[in-house]
Chains A and B, each alone.
Chain A
Amino acid sequence: MSVASAAPVSQREADFAALLEKVHAIGRDIVAPAADEVDRDARFPREAFAALKAEKLLSAYVPQEYGGMGLDITQVSRLCEALGHYCASTAMVFAMHQIQVACIVHHALGSVFFRDYVRELAARQYLLASATTELGIGGDVRQSICATKIVDQHFILEKQAPVISYGEEADAILVTCRRSEEAARGDQVQVLVRKEDCTLTRLSNWDTLGFRGTCSPGFELKALGHVEQILPVPYAYIHSKTMHPYAHIVWASLWVGLASDALNRARSFVRAEARKNPSAPPISATRLAEADLVLNTMKSALQATLGDYHRLLAGDDPESFSSFAFAIRVNNLKLTCSQLVLDVVARSMVICGIQGYRNDSKLSLGRHLRDATGAGLMVNNDRILVQNATMHIGLRD
Chain B
Amino acid sequence: MSTDTIRALIAEHARLPIDVGGLDEHSDLYAAGLTSLSTVNLMLALEEAFDVEFPDRMLGRKTFGSIRSLADAIRELRQ
Residues of A within 8 A of B (CB): 142, 183-187, 236, 240, 319, 322-324, 327, 387, 390-391, 393-397
Contact = CB atoms under 8 A, between A and B. Distances in A.
A156 B37 CA distance: 30
Interface in B3-62: 16-18, 30-37, 39-41, 43-44, 54-56, 59-62
A324 B59 contact: yes
Interface of B: 16-18, 30-37, 39-41, 43-44, 54-56, 59-62
Given A322-B61, A396-B55, A187 B31 contact: yes
Query: Which of B34, B35, B41 has most chain A Cβ within 10 Å?
Result: B35
Contacts of B44: 393-394
A327 B41 CA distance: 17
14 contacts: A183-B31, A184-B31, A185-B17, A186-B30, A186-B35, A322-B36, A323-B59, A323-B60, A324-B59, A327-B36, A390-B37, A390-B41, A394-B44, A395-B56
A256 B32 CA distance: 40
A236 B40 contact: no
Contacts, number: 50
A185 B54 CA distance: 27
Contacts of A323: 59-60
A322 B32 CA distance: 18
Q: Which 7 A-B pairs have the closest CB atoms?
A: A184-B33, A394-B40, A396-B56, A390-B37, A390-B40, A186-B33, A187-B31
- Interface of B, helix, strand, loop or mixed by DSSP: loop
A137 to B, nearest CB: 12
Contacts of B32: 184
B35 A394 contact: no
A395 to B, nearest CB: 8
Contact of A187 (B33, B36, B41): B33
A184 B16 contact: yes
Nearest to B58: A396
Contacts of A327: 36
B62 to A, nearest CB: 8
A393 B41 CA distance: 9
B37 A391 contact: yes
A323 B61 CA distance: 10
A393 B40 contact: yes
B60 A319 contact: yes
A387 B56 CA distance: 18
B60 A322 contact: yes
B6 to A, nearest CB: 18
Contacts of A393: 40, 44
A13 B36 CA distance: 39
Contacts of A186: 30, 33-35
A327 B60 CA distance: 13
A98 to B, nearest CB: 25
A186 B31 CA distance: 7
A396 B58 CA distance: 10
A49 to B, nearest CB: 36
A394 B17 contact: no
A184 B40 contact: no
A184 B61 contact: no
Given A390-B40, A391-B37, A394-B43, A184 B56 contact: no
Nearest to B37: A390
Contacts of A324: 36, 59
B58 to A, nearest CB: 9
A196 B75 CA distance: 55
A186 B33 CA distance: 5
A40 B32 CA distance: 47
Contacts of A395: 56
A337 B40 CA distance: 27
Contacts of A322: 36, 60-61
B31 A396 contact: no
Query: Which of A187, A391, A394, A395 has most chain B Cβ within 10 Å?
Result: A394
